[in-house]
């Protein structure tokens, strides 16, 4: 189920980006958030992050024996960061639409403790996944190209970009697919060249 969750995370991440472009587009966030269709991109994004957390657990379990202390630290940081980002995305689904009606300027400005919370969440998320990726690279259980993509995606997730986790989610989906098919996931010897 963890491999399926990782793959579905990328699917919902891509759907979220697609819905965001259609629903929000060039409008101000407060204008888009008052529409019922705002639940499409925000809900898909939240679901993608929750599925990513489940996928992370499966990716950890698959290589726990080869991981070592760095892997355990990376897993812990990535899991806490993913949970914090899911919390931030929860607010996009349930808080932002109400706030857009009551105080649209607050939604559009994105300052203060809300901004600090988002920055901290995505920073921990990205750093945790970078460490997890580095440990995964060392463990040599998954194809190297997919792990490098995961690390690149983790770095991009720190930057204030729209759909900032999409590359990481696609990379996690590749690793999840490896779990599902068994191709490329080995004891660490032959997959290094993949």
Residue that is written with structure tokens 């939604």 in the block: 107
User: Could you read off the pLDDT of 26-52 as tens digits, one per residue?
Assistant: 767 778 788 888 899 889 999 999 999
Structural domain containing residue 29: 2-193
User: Could you read off the pLDDT of 72-111 as tens digits, one per residue?
Assistant: 999 999 999 999 999 989 988 888 888 888 877 776 676 6
User: Buried (b) or exposed (e) across 6-22, using 16+ Cβ within 10 A?
Assistant: bbbbbbbbbbbbebbee
For every residue of 108-130, DSSP letters joined together read HH--HHHHHHHHHHHHHHHHHHH
Two structure tokens written together for 145: 């190209």
- Nearest by Cα to 92 from 42, 140, 56: 42
Domain count, the chain: 1
143 contacts: CB under 8 Å, gap ≥ 6: 174, 178, 184, 191, 194
In sign, the C-alpha dihedral spanning 56, 60, 63, 68 is: positive
- Distance of alpha carbon 194 from alpha carbon 191, whole angstroms: 5
For range 131-151, the mean pLDDT: 95
């Amino acid at each position: 189920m963890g491999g399926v969750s990782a793959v579905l995370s990328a699917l919902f991440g891509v759907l979220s980006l697609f819905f965001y472009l259609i629903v929000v587009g060039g409008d101000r966030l407060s204008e888009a958030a008052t529409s019922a269709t705002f639940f499409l991109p925000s809900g898909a994004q939240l679901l993608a992050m929750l599925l990513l957390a489940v996928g992370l657990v499966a990716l950890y379990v698959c290589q726990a024996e080869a991981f070592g202390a760095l892997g355990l630290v990376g897993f812990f940081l990535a899991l806490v960061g993913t949970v914090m980002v899911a919390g931030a995305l929860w607010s996009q689904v349930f808080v932002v639409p109400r706030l857009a009606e009551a105080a649209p300027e607050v939604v559009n400005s994105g300052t203060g403790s809300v901004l600090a919370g988002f920055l901290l969440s995505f920073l921990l998320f990205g750093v945790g996944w970078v460490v997890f990726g580095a440990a995964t690279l060392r463990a040599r259980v998954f194809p190297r190209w997919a792990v490098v993509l995961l690390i690149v995606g983790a770095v991009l997730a720190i930057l204030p970009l729209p759909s900032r986790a999409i590359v990481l989610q696609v990379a996690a989906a590749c690793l999840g697919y490896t779990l599902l098919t068994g191709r490329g996931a080995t004891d660490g010897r032959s997959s290094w060249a993949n």
